[in-house]
Structure 1
Amino acid sequence: MDELTSIIIVLADSGPLTRECVEHALASDRPVEVILVDNGSDDGVPEALDRAYVGDDRVRVVYNRANLGFGPAVNRGAVHARGKWLLVLNPDCLIDPDTITRMGAHIGPHTGIVGAVVQDASGQVDPASRRRDPLLGRAIATKLGRGGGIDIAGPLPAGAEPVEIVSGAILLMPRAAFETLGGFDETFFLHCEDMDLCRRARDMGYQVLLAGDVQVMHGKGGSSRHRPVFVSRHKHRSMFIWFRRHDPAATNPLVRAVVWLGIWAHFVLKIPGQLLRKKRR
């Protein structure tokens, strides 16, 4: 358990919690390096962290000088990684010293991805911690409040549990599995890239596991609050890409067209509320 873990954190005007995220990461009880990949931030945080850790070879800042998207940024960070394991971590997530050790304890020869239970400061668990593939039938069941939907009800496991999707806020992967999968699919600019990665991992015979005994605090949406419409547009675009690639229902041209119209109508209807909330902030 003394192998190096490379922690990849993507920044995009992610805010002051990023500093705390890095501090928590460096306090890990196992050897780590932190690779900060900046997607053209204007808040000065990447540069401040670069200066703060200039004498610490465990921290490296990679500047993209433009917003390349989440998945592409992780892939560029992985190029610089030296660790046997990769931990993809959101900049508003705070890990404990033993988080990586406890997640890593569940990695076996066929494990591709290990996720954790993501929760807010009040202890409320994010449903994205474990989900089923968002197939059309399941999405409809979720909207109607019926069982068999995307979200998985019931108590969390005491240990590791095979699931279809874990939250992309924190993902631990053997570097070999990440490279076999080709990293994140860069067609996804933002959102759904974690669902795509989990699906491709399972399709290649890897296990996707939820470490139900590991909880991680997630601040939620540091950069999305500044650009809600921008983020929402890419989220809806990614939803359709995932549907088109992975849902058997997408083979029907009529169904595909109806889903496309529904996704973009939903995007348009959400814009007024998003702009109003941004103005109030």
Structure 2
Amino acid sequence: MDLSVIVVSYNTRQLLDDCLASLFAAEAPVEGMEVIVVDNASTDGSVEMVAQKYPQAVLLAGDQNLGFSAANNRGAAVAGGDYLLFLNSDTVVGADALVAPLAYLQSQSQVGALTVRLIYPNGERDPDNHRGFPTPWNALCHFSGLSRLFSHSPRFNGYFRSYEDFSRVHTVPVIAGSYMLMPRYLDRQLGGWDETYFFYGEDIDYCYRIHEAGYEIIYFPLVEVLHYKGASSGLRKESADIARPPKEIRVKVARESVRAMQLFYRKFYSDKYPRPVTALVLAGIWLRGRLRIMKHQLT
């Protein structure tokens, strides 16, 4: 089998339905594919919907929310495809969203992962799917606004890298777990997703380890995939049909994003920079997190 598509589900019933419908309508690889749905104890009828409408999918229904990393690993453990596509449940793929990216990846042995051009319903490009690593300098330029002032400068816009030509295929440091295509052997070689992360940061961590292993990551904009960004977390609302989660969930997600960034920095950067720099960065992450949490508490 060529491809295993792994979709993690958590209370996104309608979005998951749309995602699966688009997957099964898309052109399949020559050697076939399977779709694996890993449900993190949804309470909105997602499991029942998948069982009734998509019996051809492999359904792994859990009794607790394992988080994004652990759920991806659970799906990868039973996958039979030579390549794995980790795909968010809040995406809708087109007819060519599987075959063309897979063919490119199969032809490039030095590539460890690939993503496509993710777009919001309003047509804008998802910037989180094309990033640099959050080094102290990149983080400073990003949060201080220097990256916006000098948006076409590689020196000052190392985080979102908006100076790149988004119409051509090119390498990129970080892609999102919303659409991450990679060889199964590499996923197993690297030990899968780091389950210390629950939600947020796990894709940056995985990209870092892919690069450390000597592989490239490719941005493949010749294919577009619709992404209802943040629909399951409530931090973004791209459609009037998506209900906004309650305040406590949005606050929990904001807190988890802070923990994830702190975890990533301590894991990969704390030994690379002087202690004062590390302390300053961690304080900045905490402060920005507090502001985000307060915003959700007040709205």
User: Is the TM-score greater than 0.5?
Assistant: yes
Q: Is the 8 A contact 2:270 2:278 kept in 1?
A: no
Show structure 2 runs of 5+ residues with no match.
Answer: 147-155, 235-244
Give the distance between the partners of 1:65 and 1:275, measured in 2 at CA: 29
Using structure 2 for the length normalisation, give the TM-score: 0.86
TM alignment of 1:14-163, pairs within 5 A: 14-30=12-28, 31-54=32-55, 56=56, 59-107=57-105, 108-146=108-146, 147-154=156-163, 156-163=165-172
Task: Tell me by how many angstroms 1:249 deviates.
Answer: 6.7
Per-residue displacement from partner, 1:143-166 (whole Å, max 9, x unpaired)?
233223301113534442111011
Q: Is the 8 A contact 1:88 1:169 kept in 2?
A: yes
Question: Which amino acid in structure 1 is aligned with residue 214 of structure 2?
Answer: G
From the superposition, tell whether residues 251 and 140 of structure 1 become closer, same or farther in structure 2 (CA, over 3 Å).
closer
Q: Is the 8 A contact 1:243 1:250 kept in 2?
A: no
Per-residue displacement from partner, 1:168-222 (whole Å, max 9, x unpaired)?
2101111111111111111111111111111110110111111021211101122
Q: Is the 8 A contact 2:255 2:293 kept in 1?
A: no
Q: Is the 8 A contact 1:110 1:207 kept in 2?
A: yes
Larger mean CA deviation between 244-253 and 119-128 belongs to 244-253
Query: How many residue pairs get matched?
Result: 272
Q: Is the 8 A contact 2:13 2:45 kept in 1?
A: no
Question: Which amino acid in structure 1 is aligned with residue 200 of structure 2?
Answer: H
Question: Which amino acid in structure 2 is aligned with residue 205 of structure 1?
Answer: G
Task: Tell me by how many angstroms 1:251 deviates.
Answer: 4.5
Question: Which amino acid in structure 2 is aligned with residue 122 of structure 1?
Answer: N
Q: Is the 8 A contact 2:198 2:256 kept in 1?
A: yes
Give the distance between the partners of 1:192 and 1:8, measured in 2 at CA: 18
Task: Tell me by how many angstroms 1:276 deviates.
Answer: 4.0
From the superposition, tell whether residues 83 and 170 of structure 1 become closer, same or farther in structure 2 (CA, over 3 Å).
same
TM alignment of 1:240-255, pairs within 5 A: 240-247=262-269, 251-255=273-277
Give the distance between the partners of 1:221 and 1:126, measured in 2 at CA: 11
Match of 1:238 among 229, 249, 260: 260
Task: Tell me by how many angstroms 1:69 deviates.
Answer: 0.9
Give the distance between the partners of 1:264 and 1:250, measured in 2 at CA: 20
Q: Which residue of 1 aligns with 2:237?
A: none
Using structure 1 for the length normalisation, give the TM-score: 0.91
Give the distance between the partners of 1:194 and 1:110, measured in 2 at CA: 19
Question: Which amino acid in structure 2 is aligned with residue 63 of structure 1?
Answer: A
**CA-atom RMSD, angstroms?**
1.7
- The percent of aligned pairs where both chains have the same amino acid is 32
Q: Is the 8 A contact 1:35 1:61 kept in 2?
A: yes
Q: Is the 8 A contact 1:159 1:211 kept in 2?
A: yes
Q: Which residue of 2 aligns with 1:265?
A: 287
Question: Which amino acid in structure 1 is aligned with residue 23 of structure 2?
Answer: A
Give the distance between the partners of 1:44 and 1:136, measured in 2 at CA: 43
Q: Which residue of 1 aligns with 2:149?
A: none
Q: Is the 8 A contact 1:118 1:167 kept in 2?
A: no
Task: Tell me by how many angstroms 1:32 deviates.
Answer: 2.1
